[in-house]
Each structure stands twice: as structure tokens, then as C-alpha cells.
């Protein structure tokens, strides 16, 4: 494959690598690709909302303007339903999962979980946001409507996961369990091109990303790790650099390319942290592992957690292996 390979070509050429290959997963990924392009268009004109009509008002065609996260949610839902490649979707934006209870969708093999617009509080200030997705093979027999059990699977069962990052350029980064590949959108022709083949997270990272405003509420292991990051030790590249955007996709994407660690640990007020296991942690953990990195709660591998509920939160630490293992050491020594 060369640098001009488009996402469409890539999916066709790699189809034989996909589990249970019948072309279904390729078609599902191409439905995501289409939704991503549509959401990208809206994200890029978010700043025009004041000019073109505020949220809640009607636009020129008499359609009500939607908040972008609701718009993104609707867009992904619609693409999934119309293409008929999934039997159900669970979204961070919705209380319960959605079953596409019709003949075609009930015969589909996959369920998908999405965070349609992660970091959406960053939209108003023109900062990068993302979409995260995670795909599983259904557990219940094909032909019937899906149930909650189809969604409550551990992350190890993911057949594919990825994200779209709407940044200074728009990219799709995903894995089907055979490494991680990144595709950059050429907006002039509306095509994603393979720009980052077989991504591996550099293991000599020196970036740490955490909301240090929560410092007073962190457990001792995390507090001591942060001090470790700030100490001077030239042979180990310390002090490390602190970078925190507050958009998981953007923070993870940077750390994936450069090496680094992202932490959203539990606090005394929120022992399970903030991030959602099914929509945020599992897909990002899957990508991290596929890129040679690691993801943990601090004491347990993220992908091994058996989910109990759709919107479950877990402490989340992800990045290059050496850095993640160092935090685990601090947590163990201070527990
Ligand atoms: P969201 O799904 O409501 O957008 O929240 C998730 C976001 C992540 O993208 C980000 O890393 C984190 O929340 C930031 O939280 P905080 O502002 O507490 O640091
Ligand atoms: Mg989110």
C-alpha cells in the first residue's frame, strides 16, 4: 500500500484480514467514514453559528439548529440505521441502547458503541474534538433483536475501534486488531488517505496529560507520580512536558504520535473518575495496545473489565508502556 491509498481501497484490500469477513465490517467502517465527513463539515462551520443562527433557532430552511453533539449523535445513528450493517447502537448521548428492530438489521452481526462528539465543551472555543467508536460481534443469535448483553462485553472482544479527530486536519485512526492505521481527510476531494500506516506509540515518551486542577483529590500514588514527572533527571528526560487539551481524542492522538501518557484517575470525590468504559476507555485502550502501548485503571487492565452497565465510568491511564507501568508502580507502592 502506498501513501495515495484511500480508506476505501484500504478496506477492500484488507477485507480478508477482518474477522468473520463477509464485507459487513468493511461496509460498517465505510458508514462511519461517511458520517465522519458530514460531522466534520458541521464542526468546521461551528463558529458561524452566531452568523447563521443560534442553537435552538430556526435556520433559513425552517429547520431547527441543533447542538453539535446532538447533531453528531443523530448523524451517526442515521448512518448506522440506513446502511443496515449493525443491529444496535449504544451512544454516550443516550440513556439506553437503540435497537434497529427490522429484518435487515436483526440479521446483522455487529453492535457499535459511540461517543459522537467527545470534548464537545471545546467546540465553543475552536479547540479539537473527536468521535470515538467501538465495534463488537453480537452475542445473541442473528435474526433476533439485540439485548443489553450484546453491549456489555469486555473490551477484549472488540473487533474494531477507532476515532475521528476534527483538528487542524481531520483524521480517522482505527484498528481491526491488526495494528493501527491513520487516514487524513483531503477536504478538497473529500477522501481519506492513508497518512499514518502501522502506528506504534514511541516508548520514550515525555508528555504527561492530566487535569492537575484535581490534584488535591488524587490518591497518593498519582500525586507522587506527578512529582516524579516534574523532577529533574536528565538521563530519563525529566522533567516531562505537561500537555492537556481536555479532549481525550486530541490528547491521546498527540501522545500516540509522540509518546506520552494520559491520566483521568479516580478522585476522592469521584472514585471512578470521569470517563466511560464503553464509549471512551475501551476503544482508546484497544488502539493503545494495538500500537504497543498500555491502558489500565491503575490496578487492572482496561480491556479485561466486565462491564456492569452502559454508562459505567472507570479510572483511566493510557499511553506508552514504560510510562504506564511507572504509574502502576507508584499506585501499588502507595496503596
Ligand atoms: P465529554 O464526553 O462530556 O466530552 O467528557 C469527556 C472529556 C474528555 O474528552 C476529556 O479528556 C475530559 O472530559 C476532560 O475532563 P475535565 O474537564 O474534567 O479535565
Ligand atoms: Mg465523551
CB neighbour list of residue 105: distance below 8 Å, 6 or more residues apart: 81, 84, 86, 87, 88
pLDDT at 66: 61
Distance from the CA of 67 to the center of ligand 2, in angstroms? 15
CB neighbour list of residue 217: distance below 8 Å, 6 or more residues apart: 267, 268, 269, 270
177 lines ligand 1 (CB under 6 A): no
30 lines ligand 1 (CB under 6 A): no
* Chain segment 86-131, per-residue pLDDT in tens: 899 999 999 999 998 888 888 889 999 999 999 988 887 889 999 9
Atom of ligand 1 nearest to the CA of 117: 4
118 lines ligand 1 (CB under 6 A): yes
CA 106, CA 276: separation in Å to the nearest integer? 27
| The two domains 7-196 and 207-333 share their CATH topology (first three levels equal) | no
120 lines ligand 1 (CB under 6 A): yes
Atom of ligand 1 nearest to the CA of 129: 9
Written as nine digits, the cell of 212 is: 492537575
- More confident of the two residues 81 and 225: 225
248 lines ligand 1 (CB under 6 A): yes
- Are 177 and 19 in contact by the 8 Å Cβ rule? The answer is yes
Q: Residue 16: pLDDT above 90?
A: no
Residue with CA closest to ligand 1 atom 6 = 119
Q: 162 pairs with which residues across the strands?
A: 133, 174
* Chain segment 295-311, per-residue pLDDT in tens: 999 999 999 999 999 99
- The model's pTM: 0.94
Q: Mapping DSSP to helix (H, G, I), strand (E, B) and coil, where does residue 44 land?
A: helix
Distance from the CA of 247 to the center of ligand 1, in angstroms? 6
Architecture of the domain made up of 207-333: 3-Layer(aba) Sandwich (3.40)
119 lines ligand 1 (CB under 6 A): yes
Distance from the CA of 242 to the center of ligand 2, in angstroms? 21
Q: Residue 53: pLDDT above 50?
A: no
Q: 193 pairs with which residues across the strands?
A: 6, 184
Backbone dihedral angles phi then psi of residue 90, each to the nearest 5 degrees: -115, 135
- Are 167 and 128 in contact by the 8 Å Cβ rule? The answer is yes
* Chain segment 173-212, per-residue pLDDT in tens: 999 999 999 999 999 999 999 999 999 999 999 999 999 9
Q: Kind and range of the H or E element at 108?
A: none
Distance from the CA of 1 to the center of ligand 1, in angstroms? 36
Q: How confident is the model at residue 284 (pLDDT cuts 50, 70, 90)?
A: very high
244 lines ligand 1 (CB under 6 A): no
Domain layout of the chain by residue ranges: 7-196, 207-333
Residue with CA closest to ligand 1 atom 15 = 246
Cβ neighbours around 299 below 10 Å, total: 12
Residue with CA closest to ligand 1 atom 7 = 119
Among 246, 250, 254, residue to substitute to test ligand 1 (most atoms within 8 Å of Cβ): 246
pLDDT at 302: 98
202 lines ligand 1 (CB under 6 A): no
Ligand nearest to the CA of 278: 2
What fold, for 7-196?
A: Fructose-1,6-Bisphosphatase; Chain A, domain 1 (3.30.540)
247 lines ligand 1 (CB under 6 A): yes
Amino acid at each position: 500500500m502506498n501513501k495515495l491509498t484511500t480508506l476505501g481501497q484500504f478496506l477492500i484490500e484488507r477485507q480478508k484480514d477482518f474477522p468473520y469477513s463477509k464485507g459487513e465490517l468493511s461496509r460498517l467502517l465505510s458508514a462511519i467514514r461517511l458520517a465522519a465527513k458530514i460531522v466534520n463539515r458541521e464542526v468546521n462551520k461551528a463558529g458561524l453559528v452566531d452568523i447563521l443562527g443560534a442553537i435552538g433557532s430556526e435556520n433559513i430552511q425552517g429547520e431547527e439548529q441543533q447542538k453539535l453533539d446532538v447533531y453528531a449523535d443523530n448523524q451517526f445513528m442515521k448512518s448506522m440505521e440506513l446502511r443496515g450493517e449493525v443491529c444496535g447502537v449504544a451512544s454516550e448521548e443516550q440513556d439506553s441502547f437503540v435497537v434497529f428492530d427490522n429484518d435487515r438489521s436483526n440479521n446483522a452481526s455487529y453492535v457499535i458503541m459511540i461517543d459522537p462528539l467527545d470534548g464537545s465543551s471545546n467546540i465553543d472555543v475552536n479547540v479539537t474534538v473527536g468521535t470515538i467508536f467501538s465495534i463488537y460481534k453480537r452475542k445473541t443469535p442473528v435474526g433476533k433483536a439485540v439485548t443489553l448483553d450484546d453491549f456489555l462485553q469486555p473490551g477484549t472482544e472488540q473487533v474494531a475501534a477507532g476515532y475521528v479527530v476534527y483538528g487542524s486536519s481531520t483524521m480517522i485512526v482505527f484498528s481491526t486488531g491488526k495494528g493501527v492505521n491513520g487516514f487524513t481527510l483531503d477536504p478538497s476531494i473529500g477522501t481519506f488517505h492513508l497518512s499514518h500506516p502501522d502506528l506504534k506509540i514511541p516508548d520514550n515518551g515525555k508528555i504527561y496529560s492530566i487535569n492537575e486542577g484535581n490534584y488535591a483529590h488524587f490518591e497518593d500514588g498519582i500525586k507522587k507520580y506527578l512529582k516524579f514527572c516534574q523532577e529533574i533527571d536528565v538521563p530519563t528526560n525529566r522533567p516531562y512536558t505537561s500537555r492537556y487539551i481536555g479532549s481525550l481524542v486530541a490528547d491521546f492522538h498527540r501522545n500516540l504520535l509522540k509518546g506520552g501518557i494520559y491520566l483521568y484517575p479516580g478522585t476522592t470525590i469521584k472514585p471512578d473518575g470521569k470517563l466511560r468504559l464503553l464509549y471512551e476507555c475501551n476503544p482508546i485502550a484497544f488502539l493503545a495496545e494495538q500500537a504497543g502501548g498500555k491502558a489500565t485503571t491503575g490496578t487492572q487492565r482496561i480491556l479485561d473489565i466486565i462491564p456492569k452497565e452502559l454508562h459505567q465510568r472507570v479510572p483511566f491511564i493510557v499511553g506508552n508502556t514504560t510510562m504506564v507501568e511507572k504509574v502502576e508502580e507508584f499506585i501499588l507502592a502507595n496503596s
